Amino acid sequence: MKTFEFIRPADSAAAIATAAQAKTAQQGADVRFLAGGTTLIDLMKLKVETPALLLDINRLPLDKIETNADGGLKIGATVRNSDLANHPAVERDYAVLSQAILAGASAQLRNMATTAGNLLQRTRCPYYRDTAMPCNKREPGTGCPAITGSNRTLAVLGTSEHCIATNPSDMCVALAALEATIHVEGSKGSRAVPTADFHLLPGNTPHRETVLEPGDLITHVTLPAPVTGSKQVYLKLRDRASYEFALASAAVVITVAGQNVSRARIALGGVGTKPWRSPEAEAALVGQPANEANFRKAAEAAMRDAKPQSHNGFKIELARRCLAHALQMAAR
Ligand SMILES: Cc1cc2nc3c(=O)[nH]c(=O)nc-3n(C[C@H](O)[C@H](O)[C@H](O)COP(=O)(O)OP(=O)(O)OC[C@H]3O[C@@H](n4cnc5c(N)ncnc54)[C@H](O)[C@@H]3O)c2cc1C
Ligand code: SF4
């Protein structure tokens, strides 16, 4: 059995310097940060990830939730999902985020899982998690058996001929609708990445899921100041009521002025290869009366480019209904 080393870096600089020696920050990285471990340790048990060195970042001072000078929120990378979902400012001003996190996993998992770890959780595609099978994401160039195989839970938006894996995160869908920014510190300094640019489409490099480079440590996530009067809903549809990933989900943040939608931010989960912001649905809604017919039109627009596989065509109508219903709940 392959062994690994485990160390606790004294500070962020030491963690970054050590991780920067890795060949990649993506699939197969030989040095990995360890946060809650609920993704990484799982994948190590399955031998899908086999790092030589784990850097435990749990003692770094990255576990605070603070209000920013601009009225927004700063969420540390190691803030636990439970603490974030139940924080009074999140419940009050960013309800869609609280709802999305609480719709995911289980209470025990949320107590361990962290903000950064959630951003970097891996797909639940069954072939990715089975080292006896080929998989372009796990071993580039070996093929994608999901395209002709078991793909009921996989993506219909943003797919390529090399990978159709769904991004499984609920939290990231809410962050997309809230237009969050992800803050990264690396060996070349720090940078801020809008959520929309953080995850990559699979294209012909499905093993590369994010813009992270070796040594890059996510330090925190920021949310813009809350939009006064916005109505927020996260709706998740799945095979069972709890402890299950989304088949389709929708995060909506809308403002209704008079009869009309004056602002809309919409993202979908369970259907995209990355957390799926839908400018098409937003454009279809803004300026229109907030009614069932227009919610349906927005949902049609959101799924216009969807590409079904052999077993997941049902997701297209499911996602439409999910979004239309979420909009109705928000507008109520
Ligand atoms: C049974 C089960 C059910 C689940 N159900 C759901 C669900 O319904 N919805 C949902 O959204 N999620 C679900 N999850 C996933 C869960 O939310 C993630 O496993 C969790 O959020 C990962 O966080 P973590 O802190 O444990 O990450 P870890 O496992 O510690 O890390 C994950 C990855 O992130 C990297 N990393 C961690 N912190 C940083 C950092 N600061 N900078 C750079 N890289 C970093 C690690 O190196 C690793 O590659 C489920 C998980 C399980 C096991
Ligand atoms: S969909 Fe992606 S993760 Fe799943 S088998 Fe194909 S390449 Fe691998």
Ordered per-residue pLDDT tens for the chain, 332 residues: 578 999 999 999 999 999 999 999 999 999 999 999 999 999 999 999 999 999 999 999 999 999 999 999 999 999 999 999 999 999 999 999 999 999 999 999 999 999 999 999 999 999 999 999 999 999 999 999 999 999 999 999 999 999 999 999 999 999 999 999 999 999 999 999 999 999 999 999 999 999 999 999 999 999 999 999 999 999 999 999 989 999 999 999 999 999 999 999 999 999 999 999 999 999 999 999 999 999 999 999 999 999 999 999 999 999 999 999 999 999 99
The answer to whether the beta carbons of residues 233 and 189 sit under 8 Å apart is: no
Provide the CA 38 distance to its chain's centre, in angstroms: 15
Residue whose Cα lies nearest atom 37 of ligand 1: it is 117
6: Cα within 13 Å, side-chain hemisphere: 7
Q: How far is the CA of 123 from the centre of ligand 2 (A)?
A: 9
* Element (DSSP H or E) covering residue 285: helix 279-285
Q: Is the C-beta atom of 163 inside 6 A of ligand 2?
A: yes
Q: How far is the CA of 206 from the centre of ligand 2 (A)?
A: 8
Any idea which residue has 């709706």 for tokens? 235
CA distance 193 to 191: 7
Please report, for the chain, how many H helices and E strands are present, in that order: 12, 12
The answer to whether the beta carbons of residues 97 and 84 sit under 8 Å apart is: yes
108: Cα within 13 Å, side-chain hemisphere: 2
The phi, psi pair for 171, rounded to 5°, reads: -55, -40
Q: Which of helix, strand or coil describes residue 257? A: strand
> What is the structure's pLDDT at 142?
98
Residue whose Cα lies nearest atom 13 of ligand 1: it is 105
Type of residue at 258: G
Let me know the angle formed at the C-alpha of 61 by 59 and 62, rounded to the nearest 5 degrees.
105
Largest CA distance in the chain: 65
Q: Is the C-beta atom of 164 inside 6 A of ligand 2?
A: yes
Region for residue 258 given its phi and psi (left: phi exceeds 0; alpha: psi -120 to 50; beta: otherwise):
left
Q: How far apart are the first and last CA of the chain?
A: 57
Q: Is the C-beta atom of 27 inside 6 A of ligand 2?
A: no
Q: Is the C-beta atom of 16 inside 6 A of ligand 1?
A: no
Burial bucket for residue 332 (CB in 10 Å: 0-12, 13-18, 19+) = exposed
Residue whose Cα lies nearest atom 8 of ligand 2: it is 135
> What is the structure's pLDDT at 2?
72
pTM for the structure as a whole: 0.98
> What is the structure's pLDDT at 1?
54
The answer to whether the beta carbons of residues 112 and 40 sit under 8 Å apart is: no
Residue whose Cα lies nearest atom 27 of ligand 1: it is 117
